[in-house]
DNA sequence: GCCAACGTTGGC
DNA sequence: GCCAACGTTGGC
């Protein structure tokens, strides 16, 4: 079992949008980066834990935990010309992009903000905090996961 | 709105 | 295969 952090802009898709989904479950579409794609296709497994992070908004923060309920399968939005995620280079025959399904486990008692994460010495190696990091799907260590979940109680 | 960092594209 | 130009991400 592994842990991950998924970024989402709440203007596009927020934790409350996920909470409003049927079974609190959605497919994680639109990832168009090869490194993130490889995680989605190859590494992320059913039952893995996911931290849901709000980017490009106030507050910048981890806002909830999710569980992977379906492992990597073709991101069909790449096949739809009307989709903003359309990619003519991907087709059902030759799929380039992948997605997983996640289900909301719980919203955190309070958002664990980027500032709080930065202030935590134990988290200084966290991928999210590394300069220039732009991955929207990234691994989190078990220790980081535990530390972050404890921080919601402060 | 700015801009640093990074990924992708395409000419050579 | 190099690398300049360009587009995107995302914190500030």
The model's pLDDT over A50-68, given as tens digits with 9 standing for 90+, comes to: 999 999 999 999 999 999 9
Q: Which nucleotides of B are covered by protein (CB under 7 A)?
A: 5-8
Q: Which nucleotides of C are covered by protein (CB under 7 A)?
A: 8-12
Amino acid A73: pLDDT: 96
Q: Which nucleotide is nearest to A33 (CA to C1')?
A: B7
Strands (E) in A3-154, as ranges, are 3-8, 25-27, 49-54, 61-74, 98-113, 137-140
Instruction: Kindly report whether the global pTM for this prediction surpasses the value 0.85.
Output: yes
Q: Would you state the CATH architecture of domain A3-151? A: Roll (3.10)
As a rounded value in angstroms, the CA-to-C1' distance for A16 and C1 is 47
CA distance linking residue A133 with residue A138, whole number of Å: 10
pLDDT band at A133 (very low <50, low <70, confident <90, very high): confident
Domain range list for chain A: 3-151
């Amino acid at each position: 079992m592994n842990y991950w952090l998924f970024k989402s802009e709440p203007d596009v898709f927020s934790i409350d949008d996920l909470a409003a989904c049927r079974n609190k479950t959605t497919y994680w579409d639109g990832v168009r980066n090869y490194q993130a794609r490889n995680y989605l296709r190859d590494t992320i497994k059913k039952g893995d834990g996911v931290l849901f992070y709000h980017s490009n908004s106030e507050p910048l923060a981890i806002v909830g935990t999710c569980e992977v309920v379906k492992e990597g399968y073709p991101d069909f939005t790449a096949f739809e010309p009307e989709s903003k995620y359309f990619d003519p280079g991907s087709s059902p025959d030759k799929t380039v992009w992948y997605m997983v399904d996640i289900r909301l486990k719980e919203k955190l008692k309070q958002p664990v903000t980027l500032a709080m994460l930065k202030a935590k010495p134990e988290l200084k190696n966290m991928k999210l905090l590394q300069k220039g990091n732009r991955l929207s799907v990234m691994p989190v260590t078990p220790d980081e996961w535990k530390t972050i979940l404890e921080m919601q109680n402060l």
